[in-house]
Amino acid sequence: MLALIAGGGDLPRIVAASQPEAPLVCALTGNRRPAGLDVDHWFRLETLGTLLLTLGDQGVSEVCLCGGIDRPALDPAMLDDETRPLVPLVMEALKKGDDGALRLILQLFEQTGFIIRAAHELAPDLLPSEGVLTDKAPRDTHVADVATAREVVEEMGQADLGQACVMRKGQVLAREGEPGTDAMLATLALPQPGPAMPLRVTLDAAGGLDPATRTWLQSFSDDVHEAPGAGAILYKAPKPGQDRRADLPTIGPGTALRAAQAGLDGIVIEAGGVMVLDLPQVLAVLDAMHMFLWVQPG
């Protein structure tokens, strides 16, 4: 049986929907809840040991960590007996960067006897094929920017500082920080006085964008060339040496919408290293704004 340690966002929903049998869904109390899923077990960091026992008792043999999880604080007063022996490992994890913390959490599950399954292993469609997937293709200037952006993101990853940057004509316009890619892109967008950004992008039977999304894109399309990010690219890739069983970087329809609002020319991701949520919706947004998605060989 599979259990999802589910964070916020749409990734847990997509992984769950791809399984032949419904997985057990577990979520951290106080964290963003997984979109579109009912949670079977809520747990605290202070009761992680009890969760491990509960999963074993319910016949769980495989675990997938997926979705955004904010690093919690540890309250010693709330520790239960099953978790106290794990405190040294948990405290060490909390002191490390995101990648180091994830490695230790994965180690903890493995030591308890669970098999770790990656989200893209359970839902292979999350990793798109190599190549340019949109109607529009990158120009030579974009290709040159990708080479520079790749070096920048690699240096950021080695320092555990982020997995994406925005580049234009050899200059870094923005680097991803702890708030994430969407927050970075928001710094490069024009103020939006019109309708609010759609919470979800849907497609009609012919693959066209829903009216709300079309209206929102049209509300700034005439002025987007004046945005701070106009003409730039978003580049995203995993950290060097990253354990790819958890926390692979992702993009989705929201990324495409924010990239469009910032005036970007396109998005470039490393093949096999970045998951794309709801790919048809992403491509529909980018095609509508004459932007590109390039899945570049790693």
Which domains are delineated in the chain? 2-122 (3.40.50.20), 127-296 (3.40.140.80)
Per-residue CA distances from 186 to 67, 82, 104, 228, 277 (Å): 21, 43, 32, 10, 19
| pLDDT surpasses 80 at 253 | yes
| pLDDT surpasses 90 at 193 | no
- pLDDT class for 229, splitting at 50, 70, 90? very high
Nearest in space to 162 (alpha carbons), one of 234, 66, 225, 106: 234
| pLDDT surpasses 70 at 60 | yes
Which DSSP category does 253 fall into?
A: H
pLDDT (mean) for 206-222: 92
Give residue 295's pLDDT: 98
Rounded to 10 degrees, the C-alpha dihedral 62/68/70/75 comes to: -30
In residues, how long is the chain? 298
Cβ-based neighbours of 154, under 8 Å, separated by 6 or more: 237, 240
- Alpha carbons 250 and 256: distance in angstroms, whole number: 11
| pLDDT surpasses 70 at 94 | no
- Alpha carbons 101 and 89: distance in angstroms, whole number: 10
